[in-house]
A = this chain, B = another copy of it.
Amino acid sequence: MSWTLQQVSEHNSSNSCWVIIHNKVYDVTEFLPEHPGGASIILKYAGKDATAVYDPIHPPDSLVKNLPKDKHLGELTSAAAKTTAQNAENRVKTRDEQRVDKAQREKPPLSRILSLHDMEAIARKVMSYKALAYYSSASDEETTHEQNSAGFSRLFFLPRVMRPVSQCDPSTTLLSAPSRIPVFISPAALARLGHPAGEANLTRGAHRTGIIQCVSSNASLSYNDIAAARPDPAQVLWFQLYKNKDNAKAEERVREVAALGYKAIVLTVDAIVYGNRERDVRAPWVLDDMEKAETQNAPGVEAGDGVRQPGDLEELEEVDLGGCAGALVAHDDRDMTWEKTIPWLRKVTTLPILVKGIQCVADAVLAAEAGVDGIIISNHGGRQLEYTMPSIEVLYRLRKERPDVFDKIEVYMDGGVHRGTDVLKALCLGAKAVGLGRAFLYAQSAYGEAGVIKTVRILEREIVSGMQMLGARNVSELVPEMVEKVDWQIMASKL
């Protein structure tokens, strides 16, 4: 069946809500309350074409999968499709889009990017405000996010001289798979917000540079698409699992990714509720205000308004879910336990299991006792509980208090890594490798796959020369005695 724009436009309320995506018409009325990002964002496009906002934050097959067949209402008439295409083309770009276009034209050649800081600086210029707000945001005052970095600045090196280092090899193996440097791509969502090719940039870049990518459950490409983007089917990918509270669904997901050739399950345990990322929530308001020529004169709220609106709290919840951060946590299992969940997962898969989101020594010990293959010390890039201990500090405590854990399981970490020296500090303390999330999102946003490759090359150069200056020929020669925690602080301006 075919629909005119007029017909679709009549279904523009929560009573009947149709949307157009890639010239197809869907009835999402019943789906509204289930939408992870909240109903209001869909209602903004009720009766209209939503393709442009849908695309960067959903895997292409997301709607098809989540909506019953009978809600797939059919296509636009060809006249309607043509009009839609023209509308898209004629649309006046927003101020933010114009800013991005200019920044893209003026960005420097890749050869001038010397560090991950340079890369981020360019990305911050060329990204849309919405993408930047989503990538950069962290919880509350973003303290843990900042401290993830600052934590590294409290570790200083005690380098050893007069050691033969002309032959220096930074490679290692992660869960038995080789990695050219002790770095992996941490799962980070919605790569297509920053670049049209999205997660595929990461996959191809990882292949070119010989490192491992851990694919996010909330990727803007499906895990099928990402698996398909591998230049070589033997390329090692890991899968980040947000476990569904329905064990059957969760098992199905695990079996699917195993069948696609993913090589490990990274069970994420620190994101069972969504973090309070205000920068992300505020993004649409900022953009709205930006579009208005004059300063926004929001109609004042009379004293007592809240009282006349018993729905105050409900309204609040919706607002909180409005940002990109309103990720699909509604169906996640909030009642996982070591006793129940790990044995279940062992039963449904033979893949190695990493638990991601360990934030204290006690849980690292429990993880080792639970028999997983490894842990990723992580606080979700400071995007979940504010004032969680920085990852490198947790690693430091684990080394000091329970060095035996490093013998039982592989220990990884992510959060706050910007330099080769950061990687080396973590390795000295016993980490097998460190993950970077935002850094790779920024890199692919700024320069696509080339940005990903460049990022790895910069890290490799910094890691190799750092190892040589520390007096280490290979990663096993990076030892705890080479780092010392100091009690002074680096100036704010440096961090």
Residues of B within 8 A of A275 (CB): 465, 469
> Are B320's CB and A115's CB within 8 A?
no
- Shortest C-beta distance, A384 to chain B (Å), equals 6
> Are A305's CB and B450's CB within 8 A?
yes
| A278 nearest in chain B by CB position | B114
- Shortest C-beta distance, A453 to chain B (Å), equals 5
> Are B448's CB and A312's CB within 8 A?
no
> Are A269's CB and B450's CB within 8 A?
no
Inter-chain CA distance A387–B461, complex, in Å, is 17
> Are B494's CB and A306's CB within 8 A?
no
Q: Which of A159, A309, A419, A490 has the most CB of B within 10 A?
A: A159
Inter-chain CA distance A484–B274, complex, in Å, is 24
Residues of B within 8 A of A453 (CB): 306-307, 312
> Are A470's CB and B114's CB within 8 A?
no
> Are B450's CB and A306's CB within 8 A?
yes
> Are B307's CB and A449's CB within 8 A?
yes
A55 at interface, CB cutoff 8 A: no
16 more CB-based (< 8 A) A-B contacts, given A111-B315, A162-B336? A107-B298, A108-B298, A114-B282, A115-B278, A157-B387, A157-B388, A160-B362, A162-B366, A166-B334, A272-B469, A306-B447, A307-B448, A317-B461, A362-B481, A387-B421, A491-B492
Residues of B within 8 A of A236 (CB): none
A161 at interface, CB cutoff 8 A: yes
Inter-chain CA distance A384–B468, complex, in Å, is 11
Q: List 14 A-B contacts (CB under 8 A).
A: A106-B295, A109-B299, A110-B301, A140-B419, A156-B388, A162-B355, A197-B303, A204-B307, A270-B469, A301-B447, A304-B449, A306-B451, A334-B468, A386-B421
Contacting B at CB under 8 A, from A61-112, are 104-112
Residues of B within 8 A of A361 (CB): 158
Residues of B within 8 A of A161 (CB): 269-270, 336, 355, 357-359, 363
B interface footprint on A183-226 (CB within 8 Å = 1, 0 otherwise): 00000000000010100000010001000000000000000000
- Shortest C-beta distance, A345 to chain B (Å), equals 12
Residues of B within 8 A of A454 (CB): 306, 312, 316
Residues of B within 8 A of A156 (CB): 147, 387-390, 393
Contacting B at CB under 8 A, from A460-495, are 461-462, 465-466, 468-470, 481, 484, 486-495
Residues of B within 8 A of A204 (CB): 307
A297 at interface, CB cutoff 8 A: yes
Inter-chain CA distance A261–B389, complex, in Å, is 45
> Are A163's CB and B337's CB within 8 A?
yes
Q: Which of A275, A334, A385 has the most CB of B within 10 A?
A: A385
> Are B491's CB and A164's CB within 8 A?
no
With A157-B388, A338-B162 already in contact, the answer to whether A316 and B449 are too (CB < 8 A) is no
A175 at interface, CB cutoff 8 A: no
Inter-chain CA distance A400–B484, complex, in Å, is 16
| A339 nearest in chain B by CB position | B162
With A161-B363, A465-B273, A487-B487 already in contact, the answer to whether A335 and B166 are too (CB < 8 A) is yes
Inter-chain CA distance A274–B319, complex, in Å, is 43
Q: Which of A141, A355, A390, A470 has the most CB of B within 10 A?
A: A141
> Are B450's CB and A312's CB within 8 A?
yes
A11 at interface, CB cutoff 8 A: no
Inter-chain CA distance A67–B323, complex, in Å, is 59
> Are A104's CB and B150's CB within 8 A?
no
Q: Which of A107, A142, A150, A166 has the most CB of B within 10 A?
A: A166
- Shortest C-beta distance, A254 to chain B (Å), equals 17
> Are A159's CB and B303's CB within 8 A?
no
Contacting B at CB under 8 A, from A252-288, are 269-270, 272-276, 278, 281-282, 285
- Shortest C-beta distance, A123 to chain B (Å), equals 12
A313 at interface, CB cutoff 8 A: yes
| A313 nearest in chain B by CB position | B457
> Are A150's CB and B488's CB within 8 A?
yes
Closest A-B pairs by Cβ, 9 of them: A306-B450, A303-B448, A158-B360, A164-B335, A166-B334, A385-B469, A161-B269, A491-B492, A156-B389
